[in-house]
Amino acid sequence: MRRVKYLPTIVVSIIVVVFTFYNFTPFGWMVSTSFKSEKEAYRIPPTVFPQKPTTESYEQIIIWTNFPRYFFNSTVVSLGASLLSTIVGALAGYGFSRFIFRGRTFLIGAILASQMLPGVLLVGPYFKLLTRVALYNTYIGLILAFTTITLPFSTWMMKGFIDTVPRELDMAGLVDGCSYPKVFLNLVFPIITPGMVATIIFAFILAWGDLLWVLVLTSGEAMTTVTLGLSRLVTQFRIIWPQLMAGSVIGALPPVTLYLILQKNLVRGLTAGAVKE
Amino acid sequence: MWSKVYRRERRSTRFPFSIKYGDELRGYLFVLPCLLMLVIVLGFPVVTAVANSFTPLWSETKNFTLENYSGLLSDELFWNALSVTFIFVGGTVFFHLLLGMVLALTLNWMIKGRSWFQVIAILPWTVPDVVSGLVWRFMYNPTSGIINHILMSVGWTDRYIEWLANPSLALPSVIIADVWRGYPFVMIILLAGLQAIPEDYYEAAKVNGANVFQRFYYITIPCLARIIYIALALDTIWQMRRFGLIYNMSMGGPGHVTEILSLYIYKHYFKYFNFEYASALAVVMAIIMLAISYPYIRMIARRET
């Protein structure tokens, strides 16, 4: 009886240890390699930890490549797309949550279905469209493109959050003579701020990680983002792994940090639409 | 049935001075910016792509033709890409669900250290798939990668395994890398579902003498069925769209063994510039994805009204 009592604890501990190891190994390998010299990175057999840790890869990638520029571009584009889609998504979420109108079910279905469209279907015509309106290779063009990925999710997440705000609050506002925009801005908005932050982060992570759209809609170093820059480094004739891993660490830093700071919000936001009954 | 009651109740408690049609208009106004944007960034490209797919390849005239679609049927590489996609998506989704379920159950069980472990468990998912592709590519490196090194020190192999260059190992290797990246997302959704199951159910079952497995089979699984389905549907769609990971790990190679549909279509678009043919391929892919997700969309959209 005693053994059975402790069995779950033992099983849980084993699982925790195994998964922690599994999750951290690639991170560890990435960080470890980024601090190795090029010579050490190719040593056979490989060293697990850098024996002479050096920051030369970071220096090289920051000083000798356009990586800071890529980083800046990624930031601008991802922030733009996540802010835009969250604001627009919040408005739409409010509309879907509070009003009953004709075609509502259809529109909800359409927004859900729009997530299911593959990027490769959109990217070709979108490329032609952008070149025609002179938005090819611009921030605005990229931001609009990223909203195709982020907007449906943002709308859905914001609707989930707004659904949790009691309607009585709106009604109280209306009785006191607020208009609907005022109700939204002064009453609902403050309550859903954590939800909006979660949505912005989720959209940011999505936009930051995208490769396909940047690959197609930009050309030249000036508009390259982190993901595209890394992909270019790896298709070069000679791959310098420590540099590439240093770039990967830098590239992974913003989404990982944002997640670590605001992970409670994010988890709640992701599940708001899925689990609520 | 509940939704109907809910709706009626909502109508009746609506405020005296809000008129039905005025409200309807306001609803449209709130939703309008979102719809406009979706029409511009999604509607237009979709219509153009579909139109393109029915025009002849490399031609100035825009005559209607089905040749792209008939060509597709005899395109061996298309069928190859389709089967690679199904193996990739099937493999990754299966293992996402398996690992996600194990971890969600563990987290749900845990009392101490749960919040910490949850943070660790979700971490891989936040990394861009380009980055995880690169890291795994170097981990798979035959001579200086960590994976062969570990296998050799444990003594499971004594030769340098070419994970990504060996045609029969490349696809499983890519799948393993993606499992690491993708299972946390499924885990989050499943965990939320598990936490929504009332504790009383388990207590009642315990009192009646059900063991752990019986409780899992008769309570957890049925209560979780809908959530599992949602997680599966979402993950399948995400995995079909996956691009950056394989682009950076193998570029579809060696040969075409890891060439998933999105990569194959991309190549036709921007490497061979067969815009019309690529459009036809993409339309087929979109139809497959919409068909897979149709029950999901229907279920959610219905529940919301």
Q: What pLDDT does A1 receive?
A: 42
Most confident by average pLDDT, A251-260, B5-14, B215-224? A251-260
Tell whether A76 lies on the interface with B, counting CB pairs under 8 A.
no
Res. B11 pLDDT band, cuts 50 70 90: very low
Copy the structure tokens of residue B82.
């389709």
Q: What percent of chain B has pLDDT over 90?
A: 27
- Per-residue pLDDT of A28-42, as tens digits, reads 999 999 998 888 888
CA distance B136 to A25: 10
Any idea which residue has 């849980």 for tokens? A12
Q: In angstroms, what is the C-alpha Rg of chain A? A: 23
Does any domain span residue B91?
A: yes
Question: How sure is the predictor about B22, in pLDDT bands with cuts at 50, 70 and 90?
Answer: low
Angle between helices A139-163 and A67-98 (to 10 degrees): 40
Distance CA B247, CA B133 (A): 8
In a domain, residue B8? The reply is no
Is a pLDDT exceeding 90 seen at residue A168? no
Reported as a single tens digit per residue, the pLDDT across A209-249 is 889 999 888 888 888 899 999 998 887 777 888 888 999 99
As a whole number of angstroms, the distance between CA B105 and CA B219 comes to 13
Nearest to B103 by CA among B115, B125, B121: B121
Domain-embedded: residue B131:
yes
What domain range includes position B133? 74-303
**What local confidence, expressed as pLDDT, does residue B270 receive?**
85
Res. A274 pLDDT band, cuts 50 70 90: low
Among the partner residues B121, B136, B241, nearest to A26 by beta-carbon distance? B136
Out of A89, A175, A241, the one facing B34 most closely (by C-beta) is A89
Question: Taking CB atoms and an 8 Å cutoff, what residues of chain B touch A129?
Answer: 44-45, 48
Mean of pLDDT values over B110-122? 83
- Band of the pLDDT at B177, cuts 50, 70, 90? very high
Instruction: Tell me whether residues B188 and A270 touch, CB distance under 8 A.
Output: yes
pLDDT at A271 over 80: no
Using an 8 Å Cβ cutoff, are A255 and A208 in contact?
yes
CB within 8 Å: B31 and A119: no
Contacts of B44 in chain A (CB under 8 A): 125, 129
B289 CA: distance to closest CA in chain A (Å):
6
Quick check: B117 and B107 in contact, CB under 8 A? yes
Between residues A29 and B304, which one has the greater pLDDT?
Answer: A29
Q: Considering CB atoms only, which of A44, A209, A274 is closest to B192? A: A274
Closest-CA distance, A138 to chain B, in angstroms, reads 15
Q: Of B237, B286, B297, which is closest to A109 when you measure between CB atoms?
A: B297
Per-residue pLDDT band at A85 (split at 50, 70, 90): very high
Lowest mean pLDDT among A84-88, B89-93, B106-110: B106-110
Segment A255-264 mean pLDDT: 86
How much is the mean pLDDT over chain A? 85
Closest of A80, A267, A208 to residue B195, by C-alpha: A267
Q: Is residue B122 part of a domain?
A: yes
Give residue A272's pLDDT: 63
Mutate to test the interface with A, among B101, B143, B181, B304 (most CBs of A within 10 A): B304
- Average pLDDT in the B21-37 region? 81
Tokens representing B77 are 């590489």
Of A112, A215, A248, the CB nearest to B301: A112
Lowest mean pLDDT among A22-26, A199-203, B64-68, B220-224: B64-68
**Average pLDDT rounded to a whole number, residues B218-237:** 87
Distance from C-alpha of B134 to C-alpha of B177, rounded to nearest angstrom: 10
What pLDDT shows up at residue B2?
Answer: 43
Please identify among residues 83-122 of chain A the ones whose CB lies closer than 8 Å to any CB of chain B.
Answer: 88-89, 91-92, 94-96, 98-102, 104-122
**Residue entry with tokens 């005693």:** A2
Q: Do B102 and A15 touch (CB under 8 A)?
A: yes
Query: What is the pLDDT averaged over residues B107-133?
Result: 86
DSSP tag of B216: I
Q: Do B10 and A15 touch (CB under 8 A)?
A: no
Residue B259, in any domain of the structure: yes
Helix axes A241-275, B129-139, angle to 10 degrees: 130
Residue B202 belongs to some domain of the structure: yes
pLDDT of residue A4: 59
From A72, A156, A233, select the one nearest B297 (Cα to Cα): A156
Contacts of A263 in chain B (CB under 8 A): 118-119, 122
CATH code at position B108: 1.10.3720.10
Average predicted confidence (pLDDT) for chain B: 84
Per-residue exposure over B18-27, b if at least 16 CB sit within 10 Å of its own CB, e if not: eeeeebbebb
Contact B26 A99 (CB under 8 A): yes
End-to-end CA distance of chain B: 11
Tell me A46's DSSP state: P
Instruction: Compute the average pLDDT of residues B147-174.
Output: 88
Q: What's the CA gap between B281 and B79, in Å, rounded?
A: 11
With CB atoms and an 8 Å threshold, state whether B31 touches A212: no
Is the pLDDT score of A62 beyond 50? yes
A residues 28-47 closer than 8 Å to B (CB): 29-30, 33, 41-46
A5 close to B (CB below 8 A): no
Q: Which of A105, A120, A270 sits opposite B285 (nearest CB)?
A: A120
Mutate to test the interface with A, among B96, B138, B230, B300 (most CBs of A within 10 A): B138
CA distances from A116 to A48, B106, B266, B293 (A): 41, 31, 17, 7
What pLDDT is stored for residue B180 in this prediction? Answer: 94
Chain A residues inside the 8 Å CB shell of B270: 215-216
Could you tell me if residue B28 is inside a domain? no
In whole angstroms, give the CA distance from residue A159 to residue A271.
12
Q: List the 190-219 stretch of A: residues with Cβ below 8 A of B.
A: 205, 208-212, 215-216
**Predicted pLDDT of residue A193:** 86
How many angstroms separate the CA of residue A66 from the nearest CA in chain B?
Answer: 18
Domains of chain A, CATH where assigned = 65-275 (1.10.3720.10)
B85 pLDDT exceeds 90?
yes
Point out the residue among A26, A107, A277 whose CB comes nearest to the CB of B139: A26
Residues of chain A positioned with their CB less than 8 A from the CB of B136: 26
Cis omega (within 30 of 0) for bond into B254: yes
pLDDT of B90 higher than 50: yes
| Nearest C-alpha in B relative to A170 | B15
Q: Which residue has the tokens 């815009």?
A: B275
Question: From the CB of residue A140, how many other CB atoms can be counted at a distance below 10 Å?
Answer: 12
How many CB atoms sit inside 10 A of residue A72's CB?
13
Structural domain contains residue B3: no
- Asked if A162 is an interface residue toward chain B (Cβ–Cβ < 8 A), one would say no
